[in-house]
């Protein structure tokens, strides 16, 4: 797939493979189709998913696999969705805060924290990217929506990020939420232009390295470890 021509405000999904856009549209329809909670298996364990919540996918598994969490770490998982990354982080962390803009996702995160016996150290907070409460974290994870495309509600916003607003907010404000020496684990996809994403990281004074990648046969997902330059 060719790279994105430099014009940041152009609608990115219009430059994407139409196959990807159709897959995303079908994925949203599938999320809406469910009327009752259901379970999915990822990483060898079952997770609850409520209707209208983005279920864990292979990019979430990738982040959970590569993130390094120490016993004393305070962790923030942004855009947590089902809570898959947050639950896995809570297995080692001192405490995890998981945010999502979707109230159904907050319920799902809490259900999965209880299912996996980490509800004593995992808090779910409804928020648009960062929690309102002040505080910094040793590790921040984010598996964001990749495509710049119009979204009509919080369900679509789990797949489409108009103007890359959530990612831009994350990069602009992360310094207020990361402890000195802290680390960020974040993902991106080739259909949303890896070069664009890496240039955005650089523009915000971030050091990054690609630490893993995975493909579903249609798209390539890349995991980054990011630190803030002094």
Q: What is the pLDDT along the chain (230 residues), one digit of tens a residue?
A: 333 233 333 333 334 578 888 999 999 999 999 999 999 999 999 999 999 999 999 999 999 999 999 999 999 999 999 999 999 999 999 999 999 999 999 999 999 999 999 999 999 999 999 999 878 999 999 999 999 999 999 999 999 999 999 999 999 999 999 999 999 999 999 999 999 999 999 999 999 999 999 999 989 999 999 999 76
| Cβ neighbours of residue 153 closer than 8 Å, sequence gap 6 or more | none
The pLDDT value given to residue 16? 55
**Is 5 within the bounds of a domain?**
no
Which CATH number characterizes residue 83's domain? Answer: 3.40.50.150
**Is 1 within the bounds of a domain?**
no
**Is 139 within the bounds of a domain?**
yes
Q: Which domain holds residue 36?
A: 12-228
CA distance 47 to 30: 17
**Is 92 within the bounds of a domain?**
yes
The pLDDT value given to residue 135? 84
Collapsing DSSP to helix, strand or coil, 186 comes out as strand
**Is 2 within the bounds of a domain?**
no
**Is 62 within the bounds of a domain?**
yes
**Is 4 within the bounds of a domain?**
no
Question: CA–CA distance from 189 to each of 147, 168, 186 (Å)?
Answer: 9, 16, 11
The pLDDT value given to residue 230? 60
Angle formed by the axes of helices 194-203 and 165-173, to 10°?
30
**Is 84 within the bounds of a domain?**
yes
> How many distinct structural domains can be found in the chain?
1
């Amino acid at each position: 797939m060719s790279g994105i021509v430099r014009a940041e405000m152009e609608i990115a999904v219009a430059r994407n493979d139409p196959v990807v856009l159709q897959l995303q549209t079908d994925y949203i329809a599938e999320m809406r189709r469910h009327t009752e909670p259901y379970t999915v298996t990822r990483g060898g364990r079952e997770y609850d998913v409520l209707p209208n919540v983005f279920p864990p996918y292979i990019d979430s598994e990738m982040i959970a696999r590569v993130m390094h969490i120490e016993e004393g770490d305070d962790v923030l998982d942004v855009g947590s969705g089902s809570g898959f990354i947050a639950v896995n982080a809570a297995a080692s962390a001192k405490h995890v805060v998981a945010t999502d803009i979707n109230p159904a996702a907050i319920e799902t995160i809490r259900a999965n924290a209880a299912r996996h016996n980490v509800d004593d150290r995992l808090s779910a907070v409804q928020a648009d990217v960062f929690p309102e409460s002040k505080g910094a974290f040793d590790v921040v994870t984010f598996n964001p929506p990749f495509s710049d495309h119009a979204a009509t509600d919080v369900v679509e916003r789990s797949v489409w990020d108009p103007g890359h607003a959530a990612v831009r907010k994350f990069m602009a404000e992360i310094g207020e939420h990361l402890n000195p020496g802290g680390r960020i684990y974040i993902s991106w996809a080739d259909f949303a232009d890896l070069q664009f994403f890496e240039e955005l990281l650089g523009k915000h004074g971030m050091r990054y390295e690609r630490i893993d990648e995975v493909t579903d046969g249609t798209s390539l997902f890349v995991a980054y470890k990011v630190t803030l330059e002094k």
